[in-house]
Amino acid sequence: MSNQNQTQAQLVLSSQELTKDMDYFTSLGFQLNQIFPSDDPAVAIMSGHGIQIRLDKYADCNSPTLHLLTDTPEQFSDKELTAPNGTVIKILPKTYALQTPDTQHRFEVRKLTNSDPWVIGRAGMLYRDLIPDRLGGSIIASHINIPNGGPVPDVVHYHTIGFQLIFCYKGWVKLVYEDQGEPFILNAGDCVTQPPEIRHRVLEASDNLEVIEIGVPSDHMTTIDHDMELPNGIYNPNREFQGQRFCHHKAAEAIWKPWRISGFEHRDTGINEATKQKASVNVIRVLNSAIEQRYTNHDTDILFTFVMEGNMQLVAENYETHALNRGDAYVIPPHLNYKMLQCSSNLELLEVTLPGNFKTTTS
């Protein structure tokens, strides 16, 4: 068989306790290469001693399964083979391709008081899912918490993703990014957009750090970069990563302007420009809660809102009224009429809008 240098072997091993298995294989000389999904890791890909293994919580294999990874699958007659000893050999793509499914629209409200328990995700962070069904896989919205501050056991890594937002909700976090200079502090109210495949690392966090993270699509790959060190001694804020620029919005420097709905004002984070209209991120607060709101709607693909402070009544046409408080979130599908009533004077919202699907990218 030709072009053997383009093919890699990956051994799939069932893993009921991923962290323990990762530690064990690390002790044997393997190193972690990839892990996903971030909010509740189920798969870890490790390499060492000339082979690559895939520890998989959902693998159901009494006999090992061998993946042959290649970008020239035509050299194999079949896509699934079985060896004499029962080992299953599957022919799979070598290059990871990001796939964004069509959005499955629905009206959804997620309340802090009735959410599922926090789960331990990547680097020991606690995750709470703000859109459980993820609109068919088109988006993931996570409420992330680090209760105890100090150094974060993170490594240089990147995400193969269409769009990603990190919004500091409470506390502060110290971050460093490829080609963006020295490490910096992201304070409460600040945010960054992480362009596709920009290398970065979380260095340190305050006690009770809370972050809102948005990713499009919901399923994407996190890859550890063992070779790059950050900071990398370069400051190039205009560099584009797959057509998007890194954007660091600082709440202290924000300019507030009237919002599209009367009685409110907003600060634009600049993310719409940095992503070339792939996403918009705004913080909204009340100017005049006495104004009687009329129904409004939108024609974007996704409109996600997180209640950062205060309380309000969310009224969506043909749905029950929801009383929302700090920590609650909701998604409004396109063209659904809705309005916000009985808004407290300290109401503050984080709104993320996404116009449509992203193009497929590879890494």
Q: pLDDT of 269-323, one tens digit each?
A: 999 999 999 999 999 999 987 777 889 999 999 999 999 999 999 999 999 999 9
**Residue 6 confidence (pLDDT) above 50:** yes
How far CA 25 is from CA of 12, 22, 52, 147, in Å, comes to 13, 5, 11, 29
| pLDDT (0 to 100) of residue 359 | 40
Q: pLDDT of 155-203, one tens digit each?
A: 999 999 999 999 999 999 999 999 999 999 999 999 999 999 999 999 9
Closest CA to 55 of 91, 79, 9, 20: 20
Range in 250-254, 324-328, 353-357 the model is least confident about: 353-357
How distant is the alpha carbon of residue 168 from its chain centre? 14
**Residue 225 confidence (pLDDT) above 70:** yes
* Cis, bond preceding 237 (omega within 30 deg of 0): no
Residue 295 DSSP symbol: P
| pLDDT (0 to 100) of residue 360 | 38
Strands 65-70 and 8-14: antiparallel
| pLDDT (0 to 100) of residue 8 | 83
The more confidently predicted of residues 9 and 350 is 350
| pLDDT (0 to 100) of residue 82 | 85
Q: Dihedrals φ, ψ of 4, to 5°?
A: -65, -25
| pLDDT (0 to 100) of residue 27 | 87
**Residue 47 confidence (pLDDT) above 80:** yes
The more confidently predicted of residues 4 and 224 is 224
pTM, full prediction: 0.84
Instruction: Give the chain's domains with CATH numbers.
Output: 4-93 (3.10.180.10), 108-248 (2.60.120.10), 253-354 (2.60.120.10)
Q: pLDDT of 53-107, one tens digit each?
A: 999 999 887 778 888 888 888 888 788 988 775 778 898 888 888 888 999 999 9
| pLDDT (0 to 100) of residue 363 | 39
What percentage of the chain reaches a pLDDT higher than 90?
68
**Strand (E) positions, 161-286?**
163-170, 172-177, 184-187, 191-193, 200-205, 209-216, 221-224, 240-241, 244-245, 247-249, 256-258, 264-268, 280-286
Range in 70-84, 134-148, 241-255 the model is least confident about: 70-84
| pLDDT (0 to 100) of residue 170 | 98
In angstroms, the CA 118 to CA 114 distance is 12
**Residue 357 confidence (pLDDT) above 60:** no
Mean pLDDT of 255-269: 94
| pLDDT (0 to 100) of residue 122 | 66
Mean pLDDT of 233-247: 97
Q: pLDDT of 108-138, one tens digit each?
A: 999 998 666 788 776 667 889 999 899 999 9
Mean pLDDT of 21-48: 91
The more confidently predicted of residues 262 and 356 is 262
**Residue 50 confidence (pLDDT) above 90:** no
Mean pLDDT of 332-357: 92
